[in-house]
Every structure is written in structure tokens, then in C-alpha cells.
Amino acid sequence: MKTRKYIAVLSISFGLLLQGCTKLDQEFYSSVTPETFFKSEKDIMAALYRPFTHAKWYMGEDRWRLQEYTADNFAITTKGRHWYNGGENERYHYHRWTADDGWIWGSWRGTLMGVALALDAKSDLSKLDYARFALTQDDQDAHLAQLDALIAYFYLRGLDYFGGMPVFESLEEEALPRNTDVELFNHIERLLKESIERLPVKAAGDREEGAIRKAAAAAMLAQLYFNAEAYIKKPMYAEAREIAEAIINKEYGDYTLDATWNGVHGFTNNASPEIIWSMPSEFKMLEYNWFYADFYHYNTRQYFNQDMGANNGAHLTPSRKPDGTLYKDEFKLGSPYEKFTQGDYRKAPYVYHGSGRYEGMFIVGPHRTPSGAPILGGEEYKDLPLNFVDQVGRFSEVGPGKKYSSVNQLPSKMSEGEENTGVRLVKVPIPNLNDNTLRWGADMPVIRLAELYYMAAECRFRDGDAAGAAELINSVRKRNFSNGADPNPVTAQNLDKYRFLDEWSIEFLGEGRRRTDLIRWKAFTTEEWWDHTPSNSDHLNRFPVPNEAIAGNNNLTQNPGY
């Protein structure tokens, strides 16, 4: 929980009609103009941060799902009578999505709606005389720069998901065709470069409250260059490294790695020196909570000593076969839980100790209340103690007179889950009811300094400096072990493509980036993991333009292969 200048929501009816996501009409319900509507600095800040509330929504839900359920770390298995969902979850896991799938349409529409909201705010604020509100020209420049950087953020995600999108710079433009990948790349680059010049830097001790500052825009530019080979077929790792190392060296503001693994994820992470940009969250105010229902069992409320129900859908992909042997000798990707080294603080079961203190990051093994009583199942294990396993299989159907005589006969695939299937991630801490004011008190990290360390490390590795890359990664890894003694450090000898992908997975598990990392390493369509065979179809590195968007705008063209 924090006291903060909170991102406000301006109650304006936009009537934004994103039919086809390029016809951007506005319907105003009075003749109010920006010059007459704004009465105080509070009104200005509300207008400035309105598109940020959309960004907070955009960063989770369907965008997260496209990044994680299509990759090797997460799955939503069918669990008996639950979660088949018309085959939707399997389509994403097996890379058989279509241009009619809802997560894809929601992400196309949400991307361009974010651009439209930011442009609308920019149009209003650019017309104001800031001196009327005892504000300076520098204040106005910084506000407009934030909106430009936010527009760049939405387009950067759109470029990652779809490739070229319609580039519009006002809400007067209608039914635009798609710009090329290179044109969209250049537009994002220009917006970020111009924003960096006008944004303020973070001073030592400043808390992260959700505004975009100079380092955040610079980090986005580094991300653009880092993935440029995938976006525009032009490697730009040298450019990415230059920016990443400049941020590490405090040239864009005062940031340092957090001393503890959960300082960057905990209830007071707005004070973490590692956070470069985050989305604020607080109980009953812009809560960062969408994942809860998807991740946890119906009865996990008893584990947390909370009052919230859940849908028991998502879990980590399994590290073990039904017979208990590891997949690591069969697949180089996936097995996210067992990729954590034994002794890593994060690998422990999640336990809340009170007053905001907690340990561990997973729900695994026997499910018990804080007092130690077993938590019972309600489906395959109705009235029996729940035990969450790092496996997928219908173990309840093994035994005399049942479908399978031994676990060796069990298939392990998307259709074979049970209510206790899979390790569950608790990266956002959940307090008990006694500390319920802390609920959703952890902000959502969007960019943190550790990403720049890993980015610089990968760029060094690609440039032949494996020792330098290992040093950067180990500087982050060591905080996860007692006295900083890492039993499995990265070395120049053990660092290769797969160790790099493992390190990205371990540090950023569940942070909505896995698909992008796999694509950058040319692994998304070429590698296998649990219950996923490679398609070797490069067109799947991009999602299709949704049919609903094309129906609303016949100037849009479909991506190749769809």
C-alpha cells in the first residue's frame, strides 16, 4: 500500500468507434472545448493519465495470454469437464489460432484504441495555455512527451504481434491501410527519440508512480532495436546494447538492481530502485488482479486465507512425465519450474508471514491452510487432500478397475489435466484477510533494470563476449541465493542459446514476454516443448489481422500465411 498521486480516470464519454480499428470517430455530447473544460491542474493530470488506465488493462489479459500460452512456460489444460473452451486453449498451444480468435481481435483493437486515447489527450493538452494553471512550458512538453512515448509503446506491441499497422497521427483519419513493418518501426523510433529529449529523469530516491520518464522511453527504444531483426530483418543489437548499458550506467536516471528478488514484486515495489516503469495498483483502485481468477484453484482461497474465488485454469507447463522422470533430456525448452536451481529463494512454496512479509513464488505440493489443515478438492479429488504436481495426466483414472492400470500408461497432453495439475505461480504476493488493505498493493512492473542487464548481456554474447554476458546475468542471479552464493552461475563455457532462453524464463517468468524472446532466438516455430511440436512455419511469428478488423476496413490486408 502506498500514498501516491494516483493515476486518475477522467469521466469523459469518448464514443470511440474502432470499427476495423482505423476509423476513429469521436462523438462529443456538448460543445465543451479543451480551453473551457480544464479548470485546474487536476483536470490536466486526469486527461494525461486517462490513456494510462487503458495501458494498465492492455498489459494484461489477452496480451499476456498471446505472449505466454503460445509459448513453452504456461498452459491451460482441459481439466475433466472444465476448460476445453471449444478448443481455444489448444489452438494457441498448438499454434493453430485463426483470424477469428478473440484474444487476437482484442489485442488488435486494444492496440489502436490505446493510440487513439493518447492522441485524443495529446490534442486537448497541446491546445492549453499551461501558464493559466501555474504550470510551465517544460511541464507541457513533458506531458506531451509522455503521450508520444505511450503511443510508441502501443505501436511497439502492435508491431510485435502483427507487424505493420495503420499509422495515424490524428483522429480525423479514416479507414487507413496498413503501413509497412519498416514504416511502423520508423514511426516508433521517431516518437521515442523525440520523447527522450523532453522527458524528465528520475532522481535518487524518487518513487515510481506510473509516469513515463526518460529511462522508460530509452528502454522502449532499446527494446525496439533489440528485436529489430524479427521486426524488420535488420539486426540492431549494437544499438540496443549502447542504450541498455547507458541506462545501467545511470545516464538516463538513478536506477540500481534491487537487493532482494521480491523487492521488485512486493507490496511496496513502487519504492524499488529497480523499477523503471510500472502500472500503479492499490486495493479498490486500479487493481492489478486479472490473473488471480485464471491462475488459482477454487479452494486456494483457503491457502491464502482470503475470500476470493478462482477458476483453476492456468499453470506452468510440466517439468515431469507422469512417471516422475524429467523432460529435460527430451526437450530443451519448457520445464519452467525445474529450471530454477535448488536453493533459489523463489523456488520455495509461497507462504505469507504477515505484515507484508512473504517467501517463495509457487504453489506446489500438498495444499494446506496456514494452520496446516489439508485443503480438499472438489472435482477429481472431491473431499480428498489436494496436492499440486508438476505433471499433466489423469492420475485419478489409474488403479484397479479404472481406465489405466499404471501411471506408465498415462498420456500427458493438453486434454489430460486434472484439478491439481501443474505448479501455480504467485509472483504478485497475496496477503491474508488480516492484512487485506495490502491486497493488490504490488504495482505491475512494466520495465525494470534487470531487463536491461539481460538485454546488454545478450547483445554482448551475440558480439562474442560470453564472459561479459555471464557477468551481467550473474549480477542479477546472485540475489536469489543465501549470501549471494549461486550454485549454478552462468559461465562463458555453459552459456549458449538454450541457457540464455532459460535465464530469460527464470528471471521474467510470467511477465508476459516469453513469445517475443523465443521469436528473437528463432525458437518459437522451430523448437519443441511439452505437447508441442514445431511447425517450422515462420508466418506464425506474427498473428493474423483479425477478420473483424478487415470486415470494418477493406483497406486492410492480411498477413502472409493466413
pLDDT tens digit sequence for 368-419: 999 999 999 999 999 999 999 999 999 999 999 999 999 999 999 999 999 9
pLDDT at 10 over 90: no
pLDDT in tens, 135-172: 999 999 999 999 999 999 999 999 999 999 999 999 98
3-state DSSP assignment of residue 263: coil
CB-CB neighbours of 548 under 10 Å: 18
The answer to whether the beta carbons of residues 92 and 65 sit under 8 Å apart is yes
- Report the candidate in 110, 17, 83 with the shortest Cα–Cα distance to residue 417: 83
More confident residue, 505 or 16: 505
Cα(117)–Cα(375) distance, rounded to whole angstroms? 46
SS3 sequence, 175-191? Answer: CCCCCCHHHHHHHHHHH
The dihedrals phi and psi of 445, each to the nearest 5 degrees, come to -65, 130
pLDDT in tens, 47-85: 999 999 999 999 999 999 999 999 999 999 999 999 999
pLDDT number for residue 28:
41
Task: Grade residue 15 by pLDDT with cuts at 50, 70 and 90.
Answer: very low
The structure's pTM equals 0.94
End-to-end alpha carbon distance in the chain = 46
Radius of gyration for the chain, computed over Cα atoms and rounded to the nearest angstrom:
24
pLDDT number for residue 34:
66
- What is the percent of the chain where pLDDT is above 70? 94
pLDDT at 2 over 90: no
CB-CB neighbours of 426 under 10 Å: 24
Cα(125)–Cα(141) distance, rounded to whole angstroms? 10
Q: Which three cell numbers stand for residue 376?
A: 480438499
Q: State the chain's maximal CA–CA distance in angstroms.
A: 82
Q: For the residues 481-505, what does the mean pLDDT come to?
A: 98
State the DSSP H helix or E strand holding residue 279, giving kind and residue range, or none if neither. Answer: strand 275-279
Identify the burial level of 353 via C-beta atoms within 10 angstroms of its C-beta, where 0-12 means exposed, 13-18 middle and 19 or more buried.
exposed
pLDDT at 11 over 80: no
Q: For the residues 115-134, what does the mean pLDDT come to?
A: 97
Q: Please give the C-alpha separations between residue 191 and each of 92, 153, 446, 489, in angstroms, as whole numbers.
A: 33, 10, 19, 39
pLDDT number for residue 313:
96
Task: Grade residue 3 by pLDDT with cuts at 50, 70 and 90.
Answer: very low
